[in-house]
Amino acid sequence: MTQKALFITSNAGIEHDELIKPLEFLKSKGIESIHAAIEQKEVQTVKGDQEFGPKYTPQTSLAHVDPNDYDLLVIAGGTVNADLLRLDPHAVKIIQHFTDHAKPIAAICHAPWVLINAERIKDKNLTSYKSIRLDLENAGANWVDEVVHRCNTGGWVLITSRNPDDIPDFNAAILKELDTI
């Protein structure tokens, strides 16, 4: 059976490489990878949170996702993306479903911010973009400065990385995790 990865984003401010590079990487390895956004309309990517990147059309909306259909959740970064996702009730419910069912989540850059609103960050060891470190620590996480970090505290796996420079290691960690499922 083909493994399936779910990528979730908002419709604005998604860090281009943090969505597209892991998505294309997993597809190249035979992993069915689906992109769902808050709304099923074009998503605007950015580069470095400041320059517009290409637009992409997601395959579905978060409201139409059945988390039972997926083996792994990937949350792309981008400051605006993470801020919008953390306020979306469908995104929060998807994250809670993955953690409640011990399915792995991979989050890069600002994406761990979303876990705060899903109330799934306490006691997790993780890394992220440095500007959200204090937010994560105040929510009960233990922050580390590493290229990629894997944590299984609380009975579910969280894979995190800091920024687009870490994508090759982030991708490798996701693939390694899928090999264990």
pLDDT digit string, tens, across residues 92-104: 999 999 999 999 9
pLDDT digits (tens, 9 = 90+) for 105-140: 999 999 999 999 999 999 999 999 999 999 999 999
Q: From the candidates 16, 35, 109, 151, which is the catalytic residue?
A: 109
CA angle 61, 93, 28 (to 5 degrees): 55
- Show the tokens assigned to 20: 């597209």
User: Which amino acid, 82?
Assistant: A
Domain count of the chain? 1
CATH code for the domain in which residue 72 is found: 3.40.50.880
d(CA 151, CA 34) in angstroms, rounded, equals 24
- pLDDT for residue 2: 85
- Known active-site residue 35: no
- Identify the DSSP state of 165: G
pTM above 0.95, yes or no: yes
Q: Please give the average per-residue pLDDT across 149-154, as a whole number.
A: 97
- Work out the percent of the chain whose per-residue pLDDT is above 70: 99
Residue showing tokens 């281009």: 16
Contact call for residues 157 and 177 (beta carbons, < 8 A): yes
pLDDT at 28 over 80: yes
Residue showing tokens 């705060």: 116
d(CA 179, CA 8) in angstroms, rounded, equals 21
Q: From the candidates 35, 110, 149, 151, which is the catalytic residue?
A: 110
- Known active-site residue 151: no
CA distances from 126 to 73, 133, 151 (A): 16, 10, 7
**Mean of the per-residue pLDDT values of the chain:** 97
- pLDDT for residue 181: 81
Band (pLDDT 50/70/90 cuts) for residue 73 is: very high
Provide the residue range defining the domain that includes 77: 4-179
Q: Name 157's Cβ contacts closer than 8 Å, sequence gap at least 6.
A: 104, 105, 150, 151, 177
- pLDDT for residue 64: 98
Band (pLDDT 50/70/90 cuts) for residue 180 is: confident
